[in-house]
A and B are shown apart, each in its own frame.
Chain A
Amino acid sequence: MSDLNRLASMLMELDDQMAACMKCGMCQAVCPVFAESMKESDVTRGKIALLEKLAHEMVKDVDEVNEKLNRCLLCGTCAANCPSGVKIMDIFMKARVIVTTYKGLSPVKKAIFKGLLDRPKLFNLLTDMGAVFGSPFMRSADKTIGTKSCALLTPLIGKRHFMPLAKRPFRKDYPSLDTERGESGLKVAFFPGCVVDKMFPHVGHAVIKVLNHHGVGIYLPENQACCGIPTLASGDLDTFLSLMRKNVEAFDGGYFDYIVTPCATCTSTIKETWPKMLDDANSDIKEKVQELADKAMDINQFLVDVVGVKALDHKAGGKVVTYHDPCHLQKSLGVAAQPRELLKANPDYEFKEMNEANRCCGNGGSFNLYHYDLSKKIGERKRDNVRASGADVVATGCPACMMQLGDLLSQSGGGVDVRHVLEIYAEMID
């Protein structure tokens, strides 16, 4: 009981933030998880009420509350639409850290986060091996997208159609780079992120091609680590901070105007989450973290707002492309016009808006791992919207969304390609 007391007093740290929730329930209108289950505990108001009750020791079953707390995509749609401006993402992230600190990290997560993610060299080595050894057991699922299925892995990942690990990760071709500012007079640091490095290296290549084309110098240091968001979402603050530190060290000493990523989630993590999660033990890198956060920018935004890429003013033709707004771009960072501008800049494509383009695809990072059926249900609405648009290609700005869209479209008969906006834009550059 005194133990529960400790948890309650830790949660009381969030009391001021939680008190701002007036329980109006407007989050029900926008929450993708609630739309499927219609359960109060699946919507933000319900989760905050449960956390408050845990903090005030009115409920005692921590496991149950924790389980309900984790049924959240962390898409931030509720926060973007909250009439009272409750800092929902901050509350949920901190609550996950508090509950995990109290309960301890599961052995599997501990092994993955501390044993693997926090050791980038070992992580890279193992994924390289996976890319070589995994292939004989995989079957091609959809040729357009390039997804595979694997009966051998069914107990682990279900009947997902997934993107296999790339035969040659991005960093093999570009272990490091430090090029001069070109005619743009700009230089950026490049943070490809894990998924681009290991699964979609062609997205990384597209970024390099586009930056070179626009005369933007590139600083790409070795020893980049995961941005840390999977660890924080699981409440593992220690590994998150350790990964943040590794990245700060990797980029330290380079000269650049911006740090760009082709991953919506990495950008929002570096820009918003890193500075928020700094603790006393990491105060020595506070300035450097803030500097990186200030310089962090989504690649679409960089190309349109800084480099000045503009859409064609005539309607182009050829293939039809539609765009899915990743939550971390649209809701967290307010980047929505720029990717569309880039897609409209390629004369070989006709851009067509889909219905509910900014509705979450249901991936939510590890949410997809633990709640695959729910994730799929949420995604099916996205899939239907993509198909209804009649697009040949759905483009987006987040590799995690690309994985989810690939699975959904591949499972439903394929025929629609899933691409990163930068790939479409890079196609027009010789």
Chain B
Amino acid sequence: MSNDKLMKEFEAIVGAEGVMNSESDLHSYSYDSAVLDPRVPAFVIKPSNTDQLGPVVKLCNDNGLPITVRGAGTNLSGGTIPHPGGVVLLTNGLNKILEINEQDLYAVVEPGVVTAQFAAEVASRGLFYPPDPGSQAVSTIGGNVAENAGGLRGLKYGVTKDYVMGIDFWDVNGDLIKSGSRTVKCVTGYNLGGLMVASEGTLGVFNNIILKLVPPPKAQKAMMAVFDNIDKASESVAAIIANKIVPCTLEFLDNASLRYVEAFTKAGLPVDADAVLLIEVDGHPAEVAEDAEKVVDLCKKIGATSVHLAETAEERDKLWFARRNALPALARAKPTTVLEDATVPRSQIPAMVRSVNEIGKKYNVEIGTFGHAGDGNLHPTILCDRRNEEEFKRVEAAVDEIFDVALSLKGTLSGEHGIGMAKSKWMEKETSKATLEYSLKMKRAIDPNNILNPGKIIGG
């Protein structure tokens, strides 16, 4: 079908205002947050209700048009960079919260609902939706599910997949597939909803998502432990958990990050420290008080040079200020910020951080590392200027080696950012040839024309 004819067909489904194909509109959707080359689609389609999704997918399938579903475009692995000449399917107009059930503790949402807005709406009903990816102010639930997004609360509360009870999605024929239930227990058929989580738009197009809600903690306490040796910081993490305390947040900043944050904020951070841990415990007030005291004792016993416990909300904010400013501070240092999310078993954090620093020296690139110590999810952040080709080659080599090390420490390529285009070349290395084959066979069976976000995760 010619582009003009296709345009009319799309307009018949989503209306003229839902189809964009001017040069500047197409270029506006050629990129996401990943440091990768942009690719220009042929159409940008913006449905205004979920019933339009099926016909759009079917039209694309009938014409062999690749579809890349896009929410807010905050993807850090290139998962929302379109296939050249394909279709960008925008979901940010599908942003209705269909139900928040306070009795049965679940919610049903459309894929384009913004995460933070959803969490705020849930909180206003006295409930809690814990996943909190860094981009939550703009990221959408659909994107969070497609990437299995994480966040700062992963250690105690888990990640997005732990809150998905069911997903209804469209297959390539434009038929609606149902999975999961509004019940806590559901074993009806294959766990298709589970298959959709982290599928990065390669297996279906989300219609509605059922999410689990939990009661919020009644109290919390935050503290900062300063270490002159990164092994001691890591031992403290292990000791806290071994002592049967699971903090809701357990964050790590290395010396380079501390120095950048301090240069940017002048907040009085310990720039001589090798590492700091920012720890927050939450739950019942009595339990929180006891846990906080134990955490302080443990960190001191293992060798923290100081532990500061926040007594007021203001002090708590001050503590988190450093963590919140880690990325902005690093981002301001150089034009290009390559934010990785190599993840290792938490006992391997010292080895990982040491290796990252050695790799930085070896390739002569600046790297600051911060991240979620509690779940081993680190963010080595490389500061560079992409326009400097020679430097960027060194950056790419450094990234390759970072993943080599992560895998050698029995870690994983991605804790929370996804594979997308950026890391698909590594898939076989972490899994196996057979795993990739199995995945490809499944993909071919579900999507014979290979129109659902082709080239992502498993390549092809």
Contact for B332 among A16, A28, A85, CB less than 8 A:
A85
B138 on interface, CB distance cutoff 8 Å = yes
- CB closest chain-A residue, reference B264: A85
Complex Cα–Cα for A111 and B328 (A): 44
A143 on interface, CB distance cutoff 8 Å = no
CB distance from A376 to the nearest CB of B (A): 18
Binds B, one of A38-46, A163-171, A265-273: A38-46
Contacts of A38 in B (CB 8 A): 46, 90, 92-93
- CB closest chain-A residue, reference B138: A28
CB distance from A141 to the nearest CB of B (A): 31
A60 on interface, CB distance cutoff 8 Å = yes
B24 on interface, CB distance cutoff 8 Å = yes
Contacts of B387 in A (CB 8 A): 15, 19
User: Could you tell me if B24 and A25 are in contact, using CB atoms closer than 8 angstroms?
Assistant: no
Binds A, one of B27-35, B145-153, B436-444, B452-460: B27-35
Contacts of B376 in A (CB 8 A): none
User: Could you tell me if A60 and B137 are in contact, using CB atoms closer than 8 angstroms?
Assistant: no
Contact for A59 among B27, B114, B137, CB less than 8 A:
B27
- CB closest chain-B residue, reference A68: B24
Contact for A23 among B20, B23, B33, CB less than 8 A:
B33
CB distance from B120 to the nearest CB of A (A): 12
User: Could you tell me if A49 and B137 are in contact, using CB atoms closer than 8 angstroms?
Assistant: no
Which bucket holds chain A's interface residue count? 20 to 34
B331 on interface, CB distance cutoff 8 Å = yes
User: Could you tell me if B328 and A84 are in contact, using CB atoms closer than 8 angstroms?
Assistant: yes
A61 on interface, CB distance cutoff 8 Å = yes
Q: Quick one: given A23-B33, A25-B135, are A83 and B328 in contact (CB under 8 Å)?
A: yes
CB distance from B391 to the nearest CB of A (A): 13
Complex Cα–Cα for A41 and B30 (A): 11
Which of B45-86 touch A at CB < 8 Å?
46, 72-74
Complex Cα–Cα for A40 and B70 (A): 11
CB distance from A55 to the nearest CB of B (A): 12
Contacts of B116 in A (CB 8 A): 29
Contact for A83 among B28, B331, B386, CB less than 8 A:
B331
User: Could you tell me if A40 and B29 are in contact, using CB atoms closer than 8 angstroms?
Assistant: yes
A26 on interface, CB distance cutoff 8 Å = yes
User: Could you tell me if A26 and B137 are in contact, using CB atoms closer than 8 angstroms?
Assistant: yes
Interface centre among A40, A59, A83, A85 (most CB of B within 10 A): A40
CB distance from B29 to the nearest CB of A (A): 6
B327 on interface, CB distance cutoff 8 Å = yes
Contacts of A50 in B (CB 8 A): 24, 27-28
- CB closest chain-B residue, reference A84: B331
CB distance from A52 to the nearest CB of B (A): 10
User: Could you tell me if A19 and B24 are in contact, using CB atoms closer than 8 angstroms?
Assistant: no
A180 on interface, CB distance cutoff 8 Å = no
Q: Quick one: given A19-B387, A84-B331, are A61 and B137 in contact (CB under 8 Å)?
A: no
B377 on interface, CB distance cutoff 8 Å = no
Contact for B24 among A26, A29, A59, CB less than 8 A:
A59
Contact for A39 among B28, B328, B385, B386, CB less than 8 A:
B28
A58 on interface, CB distance cutoff 8 Å = yes
- CB closest chain-B residue, reference A66: B24
Complex Cα–Cα for A70 and B27 (A): 17
Complex Cα–Cα for A370 and B109 (A): 36
User: Could you tell me if B27 and A58 are in contact, using CB atoms closer than 8 angstroms?
Assistant: yes
User: Could you tell me if B137 and A22 are in contact, using CB atoms closer than 8 angstroms?
Assistant: no
User: Could you tell me if B73 and A40 are in contact, using CB atoms closer than 8 angstroms?
Assistant: yes
A388 on interface, CB distance cutoff 8 Å = no
B355 on interface, CB distance cutoff 8 Å = no
- CB closest chain-B residue, reference A27: B138
A108 on interface, CB distance cutoff 8 Å = no
User: Could you tell me if B73 and A59 are in contact, using CB atoms closer than 8 angstroms?
Assistant: no
Which of A7-63 touch B at CB < 8 Å?
15-16, 19-20, 22-26, 28-29, 38-41, 46, 49-50, 53, 58-61
Contacts of B25 in A (CB 8 A): 39, 41
Interface residues on chain B, number (Cβ under 8 Å): 36
User: Could you tell me if A53 and B327 are in contact, using CB atoms closer than 8 angstroms?
Assistant: no
User: Could you tell me if B331 and A19 are in contact, using CB atoms closer than 8 angstroms?
Assistant: no
Q: Quick one: given A23-B32, A25-B138, A49-B28, are A59 and B23 in contact (CB under 8 Å)?
A: yes
Query: What 1/0 mask marks residues of chain A from 70 to 89 whose CB sits below 8 Å from any chain B CB?
Result: 00000000000001110000
CB distance from A257 to the nearest CB of B (A): 30
B335 on interface, CB distance cutoff 8 Å = yes
Complex Cα–Cα for A140 and B327 (A): 54
CB distance from B73 to the nearest CB of A (A): 6
B22 on interface, CB distance cutoff 8 Å = yes
A222 on interface, CB distance cutoff 8 Å = no
Contacts of B35 in A (CB 8 A): 22
User: Could you tell me if A24 and B135 are in contact, using CB atoms closer than 8 angstroms?
Assistant: yes
Query: What 1/0 mask marks residues of chain B from 305 to 344 whose CB sits below 8 Å from any chain A CB?
Result: 0000000000000000000000110011001110000000
Complex Cα–Cα for A26 and B24 (A): 21
Contact for B23 among A15, A20, A49, A60, CB less than 8 A:
A60
Contacts of B22 in A (CB 8 A): 61, 64
Contacts of A65 in B (CB 8 A): 24
Query: What 1/0 mask marks residues of chain B from 12 to 46 whose CB sits below 8 Å from any chain A CB?
Result: 00000000101111011111110100100000001
CB distance from B59 to the nearest CB of A (A): 22
Query: What 1/0 mask marks residues of chain B from 114 to 148 whose CB sits below 8 Å from any chain A CB?
Result: 10100000000000000000010110000000000
Contacts of B32 in A (CB 8 A): 23, 25
Contacts of A49 in B (CB 8 A): 27-28, 30-31, 38
Contacts of B114 in A (CB 8 A): 29
User: Could you tell me if B33 and A53 are in contact, using CB atoms closer than 8 angstroms?
Assistant: no
User: Could you tell me if B28 and A46 are in contact, using CB atoms closer than 8 angstroms?
Assistant: yes
CB distance from B159 to the nearest CB of A (A): 20
Query: What 1/0 mask marks residues of chain B from 384 to 424 whose CB sits below 8 Å from any chain A CB?
Result: 01110000000000000000000000000000000000000
Contacts of A29 in B (CB 8 A): 114, 116, 137-138
Complex Cα–Cα for A60 and B22 (A): 11
- Report the 5 A-B pairs with minimum CB-CB distance, sorted nearest first: A19-B335, A29-B137, A83-B328, A40-B28, A28-B138
Could you pull out 28 A-B pairs where Cβ atoms are within 8 angstroms? A19-B336, A20-B332, A20-B335, A23-B32, A24-B33, A24-B74, A25-B33, A28-B72, A29-B114, A29-B138, A38-B46, A38-B90, A41-B24, A49-B28, A49-B31, A53-B27, A58-B27, A59-B23, A59-B24, A59-B27, A61-B23, A61-B24, A64-B23, A83-B327, A84-B328, A84-B331, A85-B328, A85-B332
For the A-B complex with A16-B335, A49-B27 known, give 17 more contacts whose Cβ atoms are closer than 8 Å.
A19-B335, A19-B385, A19-B387, A22-B35, A24-B74, A25-B32, A25-B74, A28-B72, A29-B114, A38-B90, A50-B24, A58-B27, A61-B24, A64-B22, A68-B28, A84-B332, A85-B328
